[in-house]
Amino acid sequence: MKIYITKDNDTFADIAQKFNIKDENYLKTFHNLSCPQNDIIHGELKAGKQICIPEDQQFLANDKIIRPNEDNNSDMQKTNTKNHPDNNESSNEDSSAGELGNTSSKNQKETKKTEEENKGSNEHDGKYFVIQKGICQCNQGFKFPRFKVTSHQKHYWNNAEGQDDYLAVTEDDLQFDPSVQPFGQCKLKPSSGGYLPCTYTPAGKWQKTYEKVKVMGKSCLTEISELMCTTGGKITVLKHGQQNGISKTQIANADSQEQHIYNPVMDIDELKEEIDNKNSYAH
């Protein structure tokens, strides 16, 4: 990551183009997740602001991505051609075949790695991020506690006012509300008098988190994230918490492209139009 100081009339679109970022929404989201809380930007840019610029290839436009080994392999082949005399053509062919074999092997490994990364990303497509007022469930419990964010007080999903209910839940947020016996009784602890109380103890961090979006280095939860309890229960997201928490004013002021990054399944423009129509009928 590097820092860019804004100038007069700079926009996120201009800066994104300057540094070859996919688009201004990726840049704005990355900045707001990476910067100190006082530097989060919701409105227009002002001169003299420090903007966090991503250098990870996942944020860069595809036409500028350098493919690994292409230049190196080309140079190696040229070097080998020079080193071998012309009367050893068969040796050259064998050597080239070996190089092609090595290149193919490397490319296969890179392709497999890329496929694995894409798989991890694709399973989160169309899923909502989880906020503090979301609700979780345990497959061995009876009650449904809310999330409790303790890992940060920095980033809020779809809430410029910074209300605690909208804090982004991360992989390190392992507490719930209520904190004592959050899931009531435990089905894995039967007794003659019924099931014994839940003694929730997390077995590590949340899994299946969205690693491409982090708050203070911690991956964010989506609807498919999971957490195991040492007793044997599996904790999952019952409600992400966002669907009923957006006011009409927030929708009217929402940036359509930015919201598409947060919630790809929501058509924010259609929602704005629907609200406008309802307001017109009301008058």
- pLDDT, residue 96, reads 42
Return d(Cα 259, Cα 157) in angstroms, integer.
Answer: 10
Burial of 101 (0-12, 13-18, 19+ CB in 10 A): exposed
Pairwise pLDDT comparison (27 vs 71), residue with the higher score: 27
- pLDDT, residue 115, reads 57
DSSP-derived pairing of the beta strands 135-138 and 50-53: unpaired
Q: How large is the average pLDDT for residues 126-133? A: 92
Pairwise pLDDT comparison (97 vs 267), residue with the higher score: 267
pLDDT digits over 64-88, tens only? 433 333 333 333 323 333 443 444 4
Whole-number mean pLDDT of the chain?
Answer: 77
Pairwise pLDDT comparison (115 vs 267), residue with the higher score: 267
pLDDT digits over 31-69, tens only? 887 788 778 887 788 899 999 998 877 678 764 433 333
- pLDDT, residue 139, reads 94
- pLDDT, residue 80, reads 39
pTM listed for this prediction: 0.51
Pairwise pLDDT comparison (252 vs 112), residue with the higher score: 252
Pairwise pLDDT comparison (40 vs 199), residue with the higher score: 199
Question: Which has the closest alpha carbon to 220: 186, 178, 261?
Answer: 261
Region for residue 66 given its phi and psi (left: phi exceeds 0; alpha: psi -120 to 50; beta: otherwise): beta
